[in-house]
């Protein structure tokens, strides 16, 4: 069984969506998925809603700080935003493969409800495709 950490700035949106897709694409016997932030901002309602539209509930997730997982030996550490990648604390996991992809941040979009929905949809689809390819490549 592999341990996967998805790391973002606030563990509220992009890392939560990635966590949801990894749980969806992988079985519990293949991997344990963790998501965390270098800060904690709580779950973003837009992320909850856009994932629910794709049939994936992340309502039970919590916003966690990366320090909570200091004792976990990760096989994969995936940063999903440049800020987390540049400011990530040292995570002492032996031989962890570290990957980075800066996903579009829908939480920064202001505008109409339709414009915000479009932003979350764009981010969700980017994240979904990336993590589908990740699972195909590494599992």
Active-site residue list: 8, 81, 88
Give the single-character DSSP code of 90.
P
DSSP E strands in 28-112: the ranges are 31-37, 76-79, 97-100
**Which neighbouring-strand residues pair with 31?**
2
**Cα dihedral 130→29→74→136 (10° resolution):** -30
How far apart are the C-alpha atoms of 34 and 61, rounded to whole Å? 10
């Amino acid at each position: 069984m592999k341990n996967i950490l998805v790391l973002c700035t606030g563990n509220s949106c992009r890392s939560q969506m990635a966590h949801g897709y990894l749980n969806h694409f992988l079985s519990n016997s293949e991997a344990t998925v963790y998501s965390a932030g270098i800060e904690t901002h709580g779950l973003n309602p837009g992320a909850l809603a856009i994932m629910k539209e794709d049939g994936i509930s992340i309502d039970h997730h919590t916003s966690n700080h990366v320090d909570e997982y200091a004792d976990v030996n990760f096989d994969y550490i995936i940063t999903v935003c440049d800020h987390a990648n540049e400011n990530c604390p040292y995570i002492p996991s032996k031989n962890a493969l570290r990957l980075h992809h800066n996903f579009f941040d829908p939480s920064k979009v202001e505008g109409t409800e339709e414009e915000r929905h479009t932003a979350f949809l764009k981010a969700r689809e980017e994240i979904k495709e990336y993590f589908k390819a990740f699972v195909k490549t590494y599992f």
